[in-house]
Amino acid sequence: MSTILVTGATRGIGREVARELVNQGHNVYFGTRDLAVDTELVDDIEGIAHWLAIDTSNSDSIRAAAERFGELESQLDILINNAGIYPDQGLNILDISRERMVDTLQTNTFGPLEVVQEFLPYLTKATQPRIINVSSGLGQITGLSADNPSYCLSKLALNGITLMLAEKLKDQVAVNSVCPGWVKTDMGGENAPRSIPEGAAGILWLALEADPTLTGGFYRDGKPIEW
């Protein structure tokens, strides 16, 4: 049984990944930016998993989450940096504001890095720890789109963070990026071709099945893809 934290586990891909990990018998922390989540969700996991308040756009929240986690657990086997936003509707690279760019990167890029920094003491206590950064094909060099400016940049930079962490944590923690594909969630929208379980599958593969020595890669459907 592994102890696993999934950020952004209230809905969409993160919730599916976290629920599946619970189903497979793991000790799972469902990250939520708001502990006052609806009762149905709380009832759903009460007794079999835990909520952890963690807002990836906020340093105080990330620090408090790591402290709280340390009161409950001594080690973290797998960190899944899944929380993300896509606030680019109707904007393009020529009209997006600096503030919007910063907001997106706070949640999608700087947040995941800070989560790693704060939870690293627990990760390094695990035998074969893994960090999984949920990125996107829109963060690939060939996937950049002028009509999704802050999102693309945030995931491109998240991939850079994966590479740098993999270098710095070589032989200590496996660090990889993963793209779930285009998935029918609140973010992906109705036209997306993939179901939520299909999107979750590649993340679950990296968490549970991939060779634990694989590090510094970018994966979709269990196969490496180009940066």
Ligand X SMILES: NC(=O)c1ccc[n+]([C@@H]2O[C@H](COP(=O)([O-])OP(=O)(O)OC[C@H]3O[C@@H](n4cnc5c(N)ncnc54)[C@H](OP(=O)(O)O)[C@@H]3O)[C@@H](O)[C@H]2O)c1
Residues with a known catalytic role: 151
Cβ contact 216:166 at 8 Å: yes
Sheet-wide strand order for 78-81:
50-53, 27-32, 3-6, 78-81, 130-134, 174-178, 217-220, 223-224
- Is 188 among the residues that bind ligand X (CB under 6 A)? yes
Among 129, 180, 202, 217, binds ligand X (CB under 6 A): 180
For residue 27, state whether it binds ligand X (rule: CB under 6 A). Answer: no
d(CA 209, CA 207): 6
Instruction: Evaluate whether 209 touches 174 at the Cβ level (below 8 Å).
Output: no
- Integer CA distances (angstroms), 68 to 30, 58, 89, in order: 13, 16, 36
Closer CB to ligand X, residue 136 or residue 159? 136
Q: How far is the CB of 57 from ligand X (least distance, A)?
A: 4
Among the listed ranges 2-10, 45-53, 159-167, 169-177, the one in contact with ligand X (CB under 6 A) is 2-10
Nearest to 208 by CA among 224, 225, 188, 222: 222
d(CA 188, CA 85): 11
Pick out residues in 38-67 that bind ligand X (CB under 6 A): 55-57
Nearer to ligand X by C-beta: 149 or 188? 188
For the record, the structure tokens of 132 come out as: 């999984």
Nearest residue (CB) to ligand X, 2 versus 107? 107
Nearer to ligand X, 84 or 129 (CB): 84
Restricted to residues 77-136, the positions that interact with ligand X (CB under 6 A) are 82-85, 107, 134, 136
Task: Give contact residues for ligand X (rule: CB under 6 A).
Answer: 7-8, 10-14, 33-34, 55-57, 82-85, 107, 134, 136, 179-180, 182-183, 185-188, 192
